[in-house]
Amino acid sequence: MGTEGNLTRKAQEAGYEYVTDASGLRAASGPRILGLFANEEMFQQAPEGEGAVYDPPVSLPEMTQKALDILSQDPEGFFLMVEEEGIDEMAHQSNAELVIESGQQLDEAVKVGQNFAAGDPDTLVIVASDHETGSLAIEDTNEIQSDPAYPNESGAGRTEEDGPFRVADADKKFLVDWTTTNHTAEDVPVTAMGPGGESLVGVYQNTHIHDAMADALFGPASASASATASASTASAGVQKMPKTGGMAPGGPLLALLVGIAGFALVGRVVGGR
Ligand SMILES: [Zn+2]
């Protein structure tokens, strides 16, 4: 559509229902919806005590549920990506309290995806991150870490320790400490449920996630075999040619990608039913 002119009007001319708030989203029936709920981010990022706010006008789980309601009507399946962005941005601000709150919203959105997958076993749900931010460390509280030979090295300014925070369902507390306000090269966790999820076991390059999704969507070995699949069962399928050249009719395949910078959700068709 390009970048010239009134893009929301162009979207509507192309058949998109344009909504700007929660009630509009709830009323929209699809199958194409453009929902823009903020000028940029749906939160205010800042260090603690400097005006940070995490209170999205439409919650991530609600957007996720609406997307699933619309996309799951397509008999050819779907790919949905859902991203939670507050986790990354609040980590750039070394704001552990709102990193945790953003993460809880992500948890809720993942739960929506898992509930959908529970009712549709052809669904693959993947939760992943694009990177780590801040080199976030979980530490004992200073009361516990009282041995002078092992001091809690807090740092100063924005990256000093945050907390203490309460451990869920326990009488314990923890601190969050930061090394940097930027992205890091630390390994990040990936979890998956559903058909094809077994290929995401182990340690691998991030590009392997693409290959695993392509395998799930289009059949084994549809993706490049160059990815390092040695740590996963995906290597068993690497020599095979794709079973189909494209989407096959059948049940939806859903992949849910979640990041420390956000989370995404993907769905598509595999096999017949
Ligand atoms: Zn970032």
Per-residue pLDDT reduced to its tens digit, 90-112: 999 999 999 999 999 999 999 99
Quote the pLDDT of residue 2. Answer: 66
- Helix (H) or strand (E) holding 85, with range, is none
Tell me, yes or no, whether 39 lies in a domain: no
> Separation of 133 CA from ligand 1 center, angstroms?
6
Q: Are 216 and 188 members of one domain?
A: yes
Mean pLDDT of 209-235: 61
Tell me, yes or no, whether 37 lies in a domain: no
- Predicted TM-score (pTM) of the model is 0.79
pLDDT tens by residue, 112-145: 999 999 998 889 999 998 889 999 999 888 666 6
Residue labelled with tokens 């010239």: 4
pLDDT tens by residue, 136-175: 999 888 666 667 787 777 888 899 999 999 998 998 899 9
- Residues 180, 135: contact at Cβ < 8 Å? yes
Mean per-residue pLDDT of the chain: 80
Domain count, the chain: 2
Q: Are 97 and 124 members of one domain?
A: yes
Q: Tell me which DSSP letter residue 179 carries.
A: S
> Separation of 43 CA from ligand 1 center, angstroms?
15
Tell me, yes or no, whether 94 lies in a domain: yes
Q: Are 121 and 244 members of one domain?
A: yes
- Helix (H) or strand (E) holding 269, with range, is strand 263-270
Q: Are 156 and 108 members of one domain?
A: no
Tell me, yes or no, whether 34 lies in a domain: no
Quote the pLDDT of residue 108. Answer: 94
Tell me, yes or no, whether 36 lies in a domain: no
Please list the residues that pair with 251 across neighbouring strands: 270
- Residues 233, 249: contact at Cβ < 8 Å? no
Tell me, yes or no, whether 38 lies in a domain: no
Residue 6 binned pLDDT confidence (cut-offs 50, 70, 90): very high
> Separation of 90 CA from ligand 1 center, angstroms?
9
Tell me, yes or no, whether 222 lies in a domain: yes
Quote the pLDDT of residue 265. Answer: 41
* Phi and psi torsions of 78, nearest 5°: -165, 165
Domain that holds residue 86: 76-133+182-270
Q: Are 202 and 263 members of one domain?
A: yes
Q: Are 116 and 157 members of one domain?
A: no
Tell me, yes or no, whether 60 lies in a domain: no
Q: Are 196 and 111 members of one domain?
A: yes
Please list the residues that pair with 267 across neighbouring strands: 254
Q: Are 200 and 245 members of one domain?
A: yes
Four-CA torsion 231, 233, 237, 239, nearest 10 degrees: 30
Quote the pLDDT of residue 200. Answer: 93
> Separation of 190 CA from ligand 1 center, angstroms?
18
Q: Quick one: which of 114, 48, 60, 65 has its CA closest to 86? A: 60
> Separation of 40 CA from ligand 1 center, angstroms?
15
Q: Is the pLDDT of residue 224 over 90?
A: no
Q: Is the pLDDT of residue 246 over 90?
A: no
Q: Quick one: which of 84, 108, 89 has its CA closest to 45? A: 89
